[in-house]
Amino acid sequence: MKPSLEADLVYIAHMLECISRVNRYCEGGESSFRQSCLIQDAVIRNLQTMAEASQQLSEPTKGIASDVPWRAISGFRNIIVHDYLGVDLDMVWQVVAADLPMLHAALLRIRDSQI
């Protein structure tokens, strides 16, 4: 997709959908996440997809939420894609529990500023 405001809005919508799915998958809390390989796989896949979409956002759009650690999101994506045998479930849960709510709020802020 060619870089543009419209493309950024598509990527943001996609990221928000991934976050929504992760939240639904994790409704049972950390213990359900840790007990189910199915939930772990679904969460990791959606985090990977979300992080990949974040790499496609234009720099001006990322600048609207300069408080978001965009490089860390990209780095996290590289870990879960390339080091899949060494994925740390503690780290994944930390992202789900602590980082996704902040990212969700930032994405809404970006989306709403562009509409």
Enumerate the active-site residues: 77, 82
From residue 108, alpha-carbon distances to 9, 30, 101, 114 in Å are 10, 25, 11, 10
Residue type for position 112: D
From residue 60, alpha-carbon distances to 5, 18, 24 in Å are 9, 22, 31
